[in-house]
Amino acid sequence: MNAIGIAVSTVIFALRPHPTTRRPVLSIPLVRRTRAPFEGRWALPGGWVDPEESLETTAGRTLVETTGVRPSYLEQLYTFGAPDRSPTGRVVSVVYWALVRPEQIGERTDPAFDSENVGWFVADDLGSPRVPAAKRGDSWGEGDLPDLAFDHDAVVAYALTRLRTKVEYSAIAQGLLGETFTLSELRQVHEAVLDRELDPANFRRQVESSGTIVATGEHVKGGRHRPPRLYRYSTTIPLGETS
Amino acid sequence: MNAIGIAVSTVIFALRPHPTTRRPVLSIPLVRRTRAPFEGRWALPGGWVDPEESLETTAGRTLVETTGVRPSYLEQLYTFGAPDRSPTGRVVSVVYWALVRPEQIGERTDPAFDSENVGWFVADDLGSPRVPAAKRGDSWGEGDLPDLAFDHDAVVAYALTRLRTKVEYSAIAQGLLGETFTLSELRQVHEAVLDRELDPANFRRQVESSGTIVATGEHVKGGRHRPPRLYRYSTTIPLGETS
């Protein structure tokens, strides 16, 4: 045995409008710490592992308790354990990541949930420290972009790299959008991952000729004159390795 | 904080002749446990994390101490933390994996190294419990194939799946063989990963036409009449994600 604490943290990705450009971008919720160490700083949602809980159960529980987000999909990302990552004693942190769909963000069922200390940030702003600070905006983290608590900047950067280089677009789209989606929603996912705009007509040609998505025959419900068609992937591809 | 122990274990893959067929197969060294729990059972090399050490340092140190193997490459695989995986209290185990080349296996520099309690096993025998038990053979684990200590059967199975489905052949070959290799050695790597024999002439045609390997202009040193040519990969591909 050894006197090392073991905690779980989770990087949650969702597609949300950028505070200034309003273009949907990969966004991450953070929680403001209300105690030492790093009191007042933003950190990834998480907490200590309860001896009775599996690591994944801890990840799910602490997410709901701190952010109100209840993702349908959680995957272990990496375990961070540098001896100096916490100033108050050795802590090893098993990091999970999750992709959430818009309708999963609003679920704030836990009475302990404290929305004042939750903020959404642009993932790229957190993962690459040299870009300009995020702008103040409704429901976004306020003020200048903070240094995160612990080594959470490095954790976010690692999660972004993994998402961008190791995960299929089909898996990301299903995680962020659900089973069915419009071509315009799918393009927004590709734009958010690539971090640049794509030509809508070219994008449509490309994905339609690739054979990877198929029209479901359904359309978006609502009163529009020409409601957009709904598509799905022709094969379901799992979101990466599971334990 | 929480009273949970944190340990590191490592799955080491090397190419060694199968005890009966003599065909090179993916092989794993295990260490016989000399104390409770699971005294006498085979387990992955590993040990408790020292509060001053990084996780990777613990992995490297415990490997040398228990097996004498000093790999050039270590990568974090997955963290196993089910509440019931050890009968004597909660233990979370950060699992690393390593590929080692033949010349790295012999390095038994640590005086604490105890070769009687180290055995090499066919990876597929350990990772798929229903295949016949490994046969007794020199420098192999003796007797019938054991149930491993803790959840190490599941850990080995997971490591094999990851190796076979997520890692490029080029990275595996470099890890198991080094920078340069003969076509016959490269074929043995492919055969070991696929777990079936390949036709040498077809294999040669395929890899030579693929453009992924190039002749170095060197040959294997030795007194042979026609020493085999040495090849290398045309581009160096890293062995997967690093922290």
- Return the biggest CA–CA distance within chain B: 67
Beta bridge partners of B239: none
Q: How far is A9 from chain B (nearest CA, A)?
A: 13
Q: Do A49 and B94 touch (CB under 8 A)?
A: no
CB-closest option in B2, B55, B241 to A49: B2
Of residues A166, A203, A185, the one with CA closest to residue A101: A185
DSSP state of A116: G
End-to-end CA distance of chain B: 25
**In the 8-state DSSP scheme, what is residue A132?**
P
Nearest to B79 among A1, A79, A241 (CB): A79
Q: Is the pLDDT of residue B61 over 70?
A: yes
Are A2 and B5 inside 8 Å of each other by CB? yes
The vertex-A143 CA angle with A139 and A147, nearest 5°, equals 105
B48 to chain A: nearest residue by CA? Answer: A1
| Whether residue B190 has pLDDT greater than 50 | yes
Interface confidence, given as ipTM, is 0.80
Interface of B to A at Cβ within 8 Å reads: 1-6, 48-55, 76, 78-83, 89-90, 92, 94, 158, 161-162, 166, 241, 243
Dihedral of CA atoms A96, A101, A106, A108 in degrees, nearest 10, equals -30
**Percent of chain B topping pLDDT 70:** 84
Q: Is the model more confident about B236 or about A80?
A: A80
Instruction: Check pLDDT > 90 for residue B178.
Output: no
The mean pLDDT of chain B is: 83
Residue A181 pLDDT: 93
Tokens of B90: 């909660």
* Averaged confidence pLDDT in chain A: 83
Reference A95, options B45, B55, B172; nearest CA is B55
CB-based contact B79 A76, cutoff 8 Å: yes
Q: What is the pLDDT of residue A147?
A: 82
Give the chain B residue whose CA is nearest to the CA of A162. Answer: B241
Residue B209: C-alpha distances to residues B127, B213, B237 (Å): 34, 9, 19
Q: Which of B95, B105, B144, B151 is nearest to B127 (CA)?
A: B151
Residues of B165-182 as b/e, b for ≥16 C-beta within 10 angstroms? eebebbbbbbbbbeebbb
A164: enclosing H helix or E strand? helix A152-166
Report the pLDDT value the prediction gives residue A136, as an integer from 0 to 100: 33
Exposure on the CB side of residue B13, measured as CA atoms within 13 A: 34
Is A188 a residue whose pLDDT tops 70?
A: yes
What is the structure's pLDDT at B236? 57
What pLDDT sits at residue A74? 87
For residues B150-165, give the mean pLDDT: 92
Facing A51 at nearest CB: one of B48, B53, B83: B83
Asked whether B125 and B78 are in contact (CB, 8 A), the reply is no
Average pLDDT of the segment spanning A182-192: 93
CB A24 within 8 A of CB A188: yes
Residue A226 corresponds to which tokens in the numbers above? 């020409």
Interface size between A and B, measured as CB pairs under 8 A: 80
What is the rounded CA–CA span in Å between residue B91 and residue A1? 9
Interchain CB distance below 8 Å, A83 and B54 = yes
> Would you call B27 helix, strand, or coil by DSSP?
strand
Q: Say yes or no to pLDDT of B83 above 70.
A: yes
Average pLDDT over residues B147-161: 92
Q: What is the pLDDT of residue B145?
A: 59
